[in-house]
Structure 1
Amino acid sequence: MSLVRSAGLQKFRQSVEALGGDPEVYARRAGLPVDALDSDELLVEDSALAAVLEIAAADLGCPDLGLRVGRAQDFGMLGPLAVAIQHSPSVADALACTSRYMFVHARDLSVALVEDPDGSHGVVGLRYSFSAGKRPLPQATDMTMLFLHRAVEFLVGGRYGLRSVDLPHQPAAPRSRYEDAFGARVRFGRDAALLRVPSSLLSRPLDGVDETLRRLALAFLSQQSSEARPLVTAKVRTVLDQSLGTGSTELVDVARALAVHPRTLQRQLAAEGESFASVLDSVRRARARTYLTTTDMPLSQVSDLIGFAEQGVLSRCAQRWWGRTPSALRQEARSRARPRA
C-alpha cells in the first residue's frame, strides 16, 4: 500500500459539485474517508485517490474531470514543500528540491529531469512517475500533469516555452481539451508522462525569493524521512474505524491492539502532530457524516454508534464539525440527492 496526502484531492469536491455530482458518494465507493475531501493532511491510499477520479468521471460523463481538477488546484497544496520550491534561487534549484522532497507529499511519486525522448537539442523532459512498474490511472495522470504544468507557470510568472506533453494513456477526452488546457501539443500512448521544456528554463531565476523562508522550509523537510512517514496515525485510525460502535475506543485498548504501550503510542502520535483524541474525533466525524447523509437512522442511534453517551454530545460536535445541526446536515444531503427538475 502506498499513501499520499489528501491534498491531492484539493478541488475535487468543488469540481464534482459544479457538475451536479455528490463527491461523498464517490469517495465511499472508492474506499476513501469522506474527511479526505476537505482536509489536506490525511494519508490515503494512492489507488483510492486515483479510483475516485475514475468513478466520478464515468458517473458524471465528464472525461476531462482530471483536467478540471488539476486546473483548479492551488500550488500551495504542497504545504512546506511549496514554500521551499517557491523560494528557490532558480528553476533548476526548485526542481531539485521537488525531486528530493516529493515523498513528503506522496511516498512513491517522483518528478525528475530526463533527456528529451525525441533527442531534440535544447530540450529536456520533466517526467512524472509513480512506483516502479506502476502507472496511475488516466484521470489522476491528467490531473497531476496539468498541476505540474501550472506549477511551473506559477514559478516563472507565465508561459515558459512548453514544447509538448507526453501522456502514457490514450485520450480520455477530446484531444482539443488537452491542448487547450496545456496550451501545447499533447501526445498519447507514450512511454512516460512528461513535459518537454526548453533546457534554458532551468537557469531562469525566480522572483521574490525569501532565503529565510526557504531555510525554514528546508529545515522542516530535512527532518522528514521516507522511512518514517506518519504511519502510526493511519494505524490508529484503522483500529478506531473498526472498533467504533462495536468495541472499545479507549487509548489503552487501541495501544494493546497495536502492541505498544499507551504512553509510547501517545508519543508517536505527538511526533506526527496528532493526538489520540484528535484521531478519534476525526474518525467519529467521518462516521457521523456517513450515517447522517446516507441513512435515516434516528439521531439517538447515530450518537450511540459513534460512541457518545447522549444525543446532545452529537449535536454539539456537529456544530463544531460542520457549523450546523445533525438534522440540518441530513436535510442538505437529501436536497442534493433530489432529482433536478
Structure 2
Amino acid sequence: MSVIRSAGLRGFRATVAELGGDAEEMATACGLPVAALDTDDLLVPDQAVAAVLELAAHRLDCPDLGLRMARRQDLDMLGPLALAIRNATSLAAVLECTSRYLFVHARSLSLTMEPDPYGDRGVIALRYGANAPGLPTPVQGTDLGLAFVHRTIQRLVEDRYGLRSVELPYRPAAPIRTYEEFFGAPVRIERPAALLRAPAALGDRTLAGGDENLHRLAMAFLAEQSGDAAAAVAPRVRTTLQKLLGTAAPEIEVVARLLTIHPRTLQRRLTAEGTTFAAILDEVRRDEARRYLTTTDMPMSQVASLLGLAEQSVFTRCCQRWWGATPTTVRKSKTV
C-alpha cells in the first residue's frame, strides 16, 4: 500500500463545507481517519485520498473540486521539500529537487521534466502523475496536483511563466473553459499523460530570497529520509540540530518542518522517548561547545554565535552550568 502525507488533504474540509457537504462523513466512508482533515503529518493510503476527492466531487456535483482545493493549498504542505524549494536560487533547482524528492510527501507521486511531446525544442513538459500501473487516473487528484504545481511556479517567479498548454489524460466533467480560466492557457484532453508545457528557458529563471546554505541543508535531510515513521525520533532531532547550529535558528518548528513532523507531534514523541527538545538542544550545544573550545582558537563571541546563542554572556553562563567553569578555563584545561 502506498501512502501520502495527510497534508495533501489541505483545503478539503473548507471546500466541502463551502459546498454544503460533510467532510468527516466522506472521509470515514473512504476509510480515512477524521484527524487527517486537520493535520499534515499522518500517513494515509493515497488511494483513499483519491477516493474521497472523487466521492466529494460526485456527491456535491462539483467536477472542479481539485482546482478549488488547489486555491487553498500552499508550499508549506510539502514539509522539508518546501524548505528546499523556498531557498532554491533558480527554478531549475526547484524542479530538480522536486522531481527527486516528491516521494517524501507521497511515495507514488512523481514530477519529471521531459522533452515536448510535440517536438518543440523551445518547450519542456512537466509530467505529473501517480506511479500506479493498471489503475485509472484519478481525475480530481490529478487536477489538484497539476493545479498545485502551476500555482507554485507562479508564486516563485511572481509572474506568469509562459505556460503553453495543459495536457489532461482524461475527459473532465467540468467545462474546458473552467480549466483554461484557471491555468490561463489552452487545455487539451484525452492525451497520453498529465503535463504542463512550459518554455524550455523556464529553468533559467532566478529566484529572489533563496539561501543556498539552507537549500543544501534541506537537500541533505531529504537525501537522508528513511521513510520509517516508527523509528526513534530523538537521534534524528540531534542530527538535525547539529547541522542547524550556526546556519538557522535551532527552533522546534524548524526541526519539525525538516523532519516532516508537526511540532506538537514531535514534542509528544520525544516525551514518549524520555526526553525533550530543550534537553537535546542543550546536549548538542554542550557537545559542540566542548569541541570548539578544546580543538579551535575561535573567539568566544564566534563560538557563541555558532551555538545559536544571542550573546557571549549567555555562553559563559551555559559553561558554568555544564562544567562549573568559564569558557576560558575550559579552553586552557582541555579536560571536560
1-side partners of 2:96 and 2:132: how far apart?
Answer: 20
The 2-side partners of 1:103 and 1:49 are apart by: 16
Listed as ranges, the matches of 1:43-54 within 5 Å are 43-54=43-54
**In 2: Cα distance, 1:276 partner to 1:31 partner:** 29
8 Å Cα contact 1:129/1:135 also seen in 2? no
Is the Cα–Cα contact under 8 Å of residues 89 and 209 in structure 2 kept in the other structure? Answer: no
Output the CA distance in 1 between the equivalents of 2:192 and 2:129: 11
Instruction: Tell me if structure 1 keeps the 8 A contact 2:84–2:214.
Output: yes
Q: For residue 64 of structure 2, what is the amino acid of its counterpart?
A: D
Equivalent position of 1:126 in the other structure: 126
Residues 132, 64 of structure 1: CA spacing in aligned structure 2 closer, same or farther, 3 A cutoff? closer
Partner secondary structure for residue 194 of structure 1 = strand
Matched ranges for 1:59-138 at <5 A: 59-133=59-133, 134-138=135-139
Residues in 2 aligned to 1:147 and 1:98: alpha-carbon distance in whole angstroms: 13
C-alpha distance in 2, partners of 1:20/1:232?
41
Q: Write the distance in 2 (CA, Å) between the matches of 1:75 and 1:275.
A: 25
Any residues of structure 2 matched to 1:1-341 within 5 Å, and which?
1-133=1-133, 134-225=135-226, 228-230=227-229, 273=266, 275=269
TM-score (norm 1): 0.67
Report the secondary structure of 1:196's partner residue. strand
Compute the displacement of 1:211 (Å).
Answer: 2.0
Paired amino acid for 1:204: R
Q: CA offset at residue 136 of structure 1?
A: 3.5
Residues 129 and 142, structure 2, Cα contact 8 Å, conserved in 1: no
Once the two structures are TM-superposed, the CA of residue 89 in structure 1 deviates from its matched residue by: 2.0
- Normalization by structure 2: what TM-score? 0.68
SS at 1:66's partner residue? helix
Q: Matched residues in 1 for 2:41 and 2:140: separation?
A: 22
Pairwise CA RMSD: 2.1
**Aligned partner of residue 126 in structure 1, secondary structure:** strand
- Partner SS state of residue 39, structure 2: coil
Say whether the 8 Å CA contact 1:50–1:136 is kept in structure 2. Answer: no
Relative distance call for 1:74 and 1:154 in structure 2 (3 A) is: same
1:260 maps to none
CA deviation digits over 1:83-107, x for unaligned, max 9?
A: 1012112111111100111111001
Cα distance in 1 for residues equivalent to 2:85 and 2:102: 11
Unaligned runs of 5+ in 1: 234-268, 279-341
Quick one: which amino acid aligns to residue 171 of structure 1? P
Residues of 2 paired with 1:276 and 1:135: CA distance? 41
Q: Residue 107 and residue 229 in structure 1: after superposition, are their counterparts in 2 closer, same or farther (change >3 A)?
A: farther
Contact 1:179 1:185 in 2 (8 A): yes
The structure with the larger Rg is 2
Note if contact 2:89-2:211 (Cα within 8 Å) is conserved in structure 1: no
Residue 97 to residue 186, structure 1, CA distance change in 2 (3 Å): same
Q: How far off is 1:79 after superposition? A: 1.4
Distance 2:94 2:41 in 1: 23
